[in-house]
Amino acid sequence: MRLHLTGLGRFWRSLVWFVRELAGETAYDRYLARCRLAEAQGCSRPLTAAEFWRARGDQEPPPRCC
Amino acid sequence: MAATLPTQAEPDPASQLPSYTAEEQALILRNDEGIPVSVTDKKPWTPLKIIVWALIALAGAAGWTALAISRGERVNTVWFVVVAVCTFAIAYRFYALYIEKRLMRPNDRNAVPSERVNNGRDFDPTDRRILFGHHFAAIAGAGPLVGPVLAAQMGYLPGTLWIIVGVVFAGAVQDMLALFFSIRRGGRSLGQMARDEIGRVGGTVAMVILLLLGTFAVAVLALVVVNALAESPWGVVAVGSTIPIALIMGLYLRYFRPGRVLEVSVIGFVLLMGALVAGRQISQSSWAEHLMFSPVTLSWALMAYGFVAAILPVWLMLTPRDYLSTLMKVGTIFVLALGIVLVRPWSEIPALTEFASNTKGPAFAGTLFPFLFITIACGALSGMHAVIVSGTSPKMIQKESQTRLIGYGGMLLEAFVAVMAMAAAASINQGVYFSMNMSAGSIDTLAAPVIAAMSPEEAAALTPADKAAIAIGQLDVTNAAGEAVSIEWETAENGVVVTTTGAEALEQIARDCGEPSIISRTGGAPTLAVGMANILRQLLGGHSMMGFWYHFAILFEALFILTTIDACTRVGRFQVTDVLGNWFPKFKNPSWQPGAWLGTAAVVALWGSILLMGVTDPMGGIKSLFPMFGIANQLIAAIALSVITLMVIRKGYLRWAWVPGLPLIWDIAVTFTASYQKIFSADPALGYWKLWSVTRQAIASGSLEGQALANAQATLRNSAIQGTLSIVFVSVTAVVIVAAAVKAVQTIRTKDTTTSEDPFMPSRLFAPSHFLASRLERKVEKEYAAVGDPALLIGRRARDLKP
């Protein structure tokens, strides 16, 4: 029973991860992680969440085919 | 999320390293620094594996037998799905792998563009499973849904065969190779690669024709939407509501909850379903008559929408619409697959109909070769993919060895969607199918002799449904049992299931779907909607939900198409202002409003004029324009495949040039035969110029007057434009193909295989190759989490990295 539950739980977590990544909800976390790495190269003041999402909103949406 | 990133936790790396056996160690490829970059895929054939593949092959063979051999008896459409899944599995495992090993030879020691640039924006190493989702969402739209529905007039077999064989040997090969060659060239687009390989002139011609063909394709898709929404208040309310819903979503994301994409998508979806339900009330109210728009009005509305959407800030309209459309895309395809597998509808159409061998088919004119292969473009071989995808996915992929999954696998999934569309179309009664796909003009022509024999009172009393039923009786086509096609529809009256026939059935379908009429609803989308609704109502809701599911399907197709229209208009706008910028530098500045407006207006005028031509075509715009949509898309494929074949030859792999070369030759045969027939055929149903001269004579004879004269003048104008476009498209494409061929011959003669690939750069990135990582790959992922470059680990899934 527990094995079954953990299996289901794992599936659910995978699904949540997949959908959030696909929708791009994790973009700000990634950006911060990137910034932290680049600190030495002058990324001293990362954008706030609001600034980041505003800039991201101005990006062109992905291309769509037929 | 941030807390689980490996960059934050810094435990002792040594304690996280997994231990490998000697055999495992031998399979791991490492770069000079000792960092793992790949796992060699050498899994031996175990008896279990052999049994599994034998079973897949057997199931596929059984399915093919059921589809191809059975005559005079009905076939269950679930076999379509079985055949597709088994064949695709075998093609992916064997043929695609063969191409990978022999022709592509991916080298995971080499760094891909996303690793080389890794800027966190367009060049972003993205998990293969996520990229697969992005890639699929980018390539699949309304095309694979519409084409198979129209092709069903020839029976289910030709279309299903072409989708499956076509995708395995042509479409998926093109997508995979275009992706791979772009990866090796810094993620360059197809147009840029054409220029690099063929030379400046040929390449520039290729870029211009690609833009023209793309705009043309947008116009035909717009025509599909217009045909689905004309005289349909419910449809107009549902699809129209997506505009305010997108605005609400855009404002919500911008000012209220930035970054909450899923949340806002769910809100948008709920609002959309609300609009769908409200649409029924509105369509039954006194407002309905104000929402009955003619095709011409809708076309102007669509152009106004396209213009405004392309100049508004993207966050307000385009981006939120795209979220909604992607959600609907994935959700509806999943629901349809579930519906077909659970409901298992029977095919109502025979394997082959009479229209496979004559040119009298009402949905589109032309014989099986070449027009079947033109009508089903998306789903089997779609040139647009090479254009759309060469700009994005190659910049996001993590390893060269993932190309088969993304390129070949993504296209197989699109073909699967096309097969499901064929199954849904095949499950509709043939009489209903043809009533929906005959233009009003064809119905009048077919029914005329019968009506002429009636008394004037009888003739005057005929409803449109009566006329359609008479026309169906005159249509030279038989059902699976070899009998004349009849119109039948099952419905429920006060909870009792009854079968209606003839004109009554046509009126009943319209009532069940909540539409004023379903006769002459050409374009494929309404037909698919009836098929889907009929399957989904058996899954959920019963007969009373028919109207909801019908409009749900219409909404989902319209959403795709509108997203394609606004995205392509915006892309086209930038291309136009870019070109104008060469003479007037001001145009280069994207925030200069007059420039943006002018560029957008030019693009909208281009597709808008073709759209208007289609809706005013007396012969039915779909019938005359849809073949050109297919031809345009397949000509793009011809350009893509020639560039790819040239690149294979220039790589020094003349031996393997047949892999893209055979589909190229096939595609040239199809598109050039079709274009030849469209230009030179002496059959006015087929040849634009023959139609033009016949019409001109009719006008000159002076026997036409009133509406007939106006129709003839429209036909004269349209056939001239379509004939001219056919000539331009095919001859310009021929120039590009010849230029590529000349270059290929030069390469073979001089044996100069100077590559245009980027120079080798050692990779420092590890990622699994397949959708599901192997045990060893998971182990190596954990090692890589400890020893890898943190900047390349940002896109990784936290769980995969836990030791």
Give pLDDT tens digits for B161-191.
Answer: 999 999 999 999 999 999 999 999 999 999 8
Question: In the predicted model, what is the mean pLDDT of residues B513-528?
Answer: 95
Instruction: Tell whether the model's pLDDT for residue B35 goes beyond 50.
Output: yes
Provide the pLDDT for residue B68: 86
What residues are paired with B491 via a beta bridge? Answer: B498
Task: Give me the residue label for tokens 């959708």.
Answer: B771
Same domain, B299 and B160: yes
Higher pLDDT, B433 or B685: B433
Give how far B411 is from chain A: nearest CA, Å: 12
Q: Is residue A16 part of a domain?
A: yes
Each residue's pLDDT tens digit, A9-65: 888 988 999 999 999 999 998 888 888 887 766 667 888 999 999 999 999 888 887
Instruction: Tell whether the model's pLDDT for residue B801 goes beyond 50.
Output: no
Q: Distance (Å, rounded) from C-alpha B637 to C-alpha B116? A: 29
Q: Is residue B744 part of a domain?
A: yes
The runs of H, that is alpha helices, within B492-524 are 502-513
Size of interface A-B (CB pairs under 8 A): 120
Is B596 within 8 Å of B604 (Cβ atoms)? no
Q: Distance (Å, rounded) from C-alpha B373 to C-alpha B388? A: 21
Q: Provide, as residue numbers in chain B, all residues whose Cβ is less than 8 Å from the Cβ of A29.
A: 1-2, 5
B749: Cα separation from own chain's centroid = 39
Question: In the predicted model, what is the mean pLDDT of residues B450-479?
Answer: 94
Q: What's the CATH number where B568 sits?
A: 1.20.1740
Which two tokens mark B92? 């992916």
Task: Give me the residue label for tokens 């392509």.
Answer: B568
Q: Is residue A35 part of a domain?
A: yes
Domain count, chain B: 2
| A11 reaches B (C-beta below 8 A) | no
| A40 reaches B (C-beta below 8 A) | no
Q: Is residue A18 part of a domain?
A: yes
Q: Which of A20, A60, A65 sits opposite B141 (nearest CB)?
A: A65
**Cβ separation of A64 and B221 shorter than 8 Å?**
no
Give how far B292 is from chain A: nearest CA, Å: 27
Provide the pLDDT for residue A62: 86
Q: Provide, as residue numbers in chain B, all residues whose Cβ is less than 8 Å from the Cβ of A32.
A: 2
**Cβ separation of A25 and B318 shorter than 8 Å?**
no
> How many DSSP H helices and E strands does chain A contain?
3, 0
Question: In the predicted model, what is the mean pLDDT of residues B442-455?
Answer: 93
What residues are paired with B500 via a beta bridge? Answer: B489
Is B92 within 8 Å of B104 (Cβ atoms)? no
Q: Is residue A56 part of a domain?
A: no
Q: Provide, as residue numbers in chain A, all residues whose Cβ is less than 8 Å from the Cβ of B797.
A: 17, 21
Same domain, B179 and B212: yes
Is B668 within 8 Å of B694 (Cβ atoms)? no
Domain count, chain A: 1
Each residue's pLDDT tens digit, B354-395: 999 888 899 988 889 999 999 999 999 999 999 887 889 999
**Cβ separation of B2 and A57 shorter than 8 Å?**
no
Whole-number average pLDDT of chain B: 92
Provide the pLDDT for residue B2: 41
Same domain, B15 and B64: no
Same domain, B713 and B796: no
Q: Is B627 strand, coil or helix?
A: helix
Question: In the predicted model, what is the mean pLDDT of residues B663-680?
Answer: 96
Closest CA to B719 of B700, B691, B699, B742: B691
Each residue's pLDDT tens digit, B205-233: 887 888 888 888 889 999 999 999 999 99
Q: Provide, as residue numbers in chain B, all residues whose Cβ is less than 8 Å from the Cβ of A22.
A: 130, 133-134
Q: Is residue A28 part of a domain?
A: yes
**Cβ separation of A26 and B1 shorter than 8 Å?**
yes
Residue of chain B minimizing CA distance to A31: B120
Instruction: Tell whether the model's pLDDT for residue B716 goes beyond 70.
Output: yes
Q: Is residue B462 part of a domain?
A: no
| A12 reaches B (C-beta below 8 A) | no
Question: For residue B46, how many other CB atoms are within 10 A of its CB?
Answer: 9
Is B575 within 8 Å of B588 (Cβ atoms)? no
Provide the pLDDT for residue A40: 63
Q: Which of B141, B265, B313 sits opposite A66 (nearest CB)?
A: B141
Which two tokens mark B224? 């599909």
Please give the residue range of the domain that contains residue B17.
2-43+774-801
Question: For residue B304, how many other CB atoms are within 10 A of its CB?
Answer: 12
Q: Is residue B252 part of a domain?
A: no
Provide the pLDDT for residue B443: 93
> How much of chain B, in percent, has pLDDT values that exceed 70?
97
Task: Give me the residue label for tokens 């799905």.
Answer: B81
Same domain, B643 and B782: no
Provide the pLDDT for residue B178: 97
Same domain, B789 and B662: no
Q: Distance (Å, rounded) from C-alpha B756 to C-alpha B750? A: 16
Q: Is residue A59 part of a domain?
A: no
Each residue's pLDDT tens digit, B234-289: 999 999 999 999 999 999 999 999 999 999 999 999 999 999 999 999 999 999 99
Which two tokens mark B283? 């369509």
Each residue's pLDDT tens digit, B81-115: 999 999 999 999 999 999 999 999 999 999 999 99
Q: Is residue B764 part of a domain?
A: no
| Omega of the bond leading into B345 within 30 degrees of 0 (cis) | no
Higher pLDDT, B343 or B17: B343
Question: In the predicted model, what is the mean pLDDT of residues B588-603?
Answer: 91
Instruction: Tell whether the model's pLDDT for residue B698 goes beyond 70.
Output: yes
- Is the torsion defined by CA of B618, B622, B625, B627 positive or negative? negative
Helix axis angle, B242-251 to B546-580, nearest 10°: 70
Q: Distance (Å, rounded) from C-alpha B688 to C-alpha A40? A: 66
Q: Is residue B534 part of a domain?
A: no
**Cβ separation of A18 and B564 shorter than 8 Å?**
no
Provide the pLDDT for residue B6: 44
Higher pLDDT, B27 or B365: B27
Q: Is residue B475 part of a domain?
A: no
Kindly state the DSSP code that residue B31 receives in the 8-state scheme.
-
**Cβ separation of B791 and A37 shorter than 8 Å?**
yes
Q: Distance (Å, rounded) from C-alpha B566 to C-alpha B595? A: 18
Please give the residue range of the domain that contains residue A34.
2-43
Provide the pLDDT for residue B744: 95
Question: In the predicted model, what is the mean pLDDT of residues B737-765?
Answer: 93
pLDDT bucket at B158, cuts 50 / 70 / 90 = very high
Q: Distance (Å, rounded) from C-alpha B628 to C-alpha B729? A: 10
Each residue's pLDDT tens digit, B491-511: 998 889 999 999 999 999 999
Residue of chain A minimizing CA distance to B558: A66
Question: In the predicted model, what is the mean pLDDT of residues B456-473?
Answer: 95
Give how far A17 is from chain B: nearest CA, Å: 8
Same domain, B639 and B785: no
Closest CA to B141 of B562, B746, B482: B562
Q: Distance (Å, rounded) from C-alpha B582 to C-alpha B592? A: 15
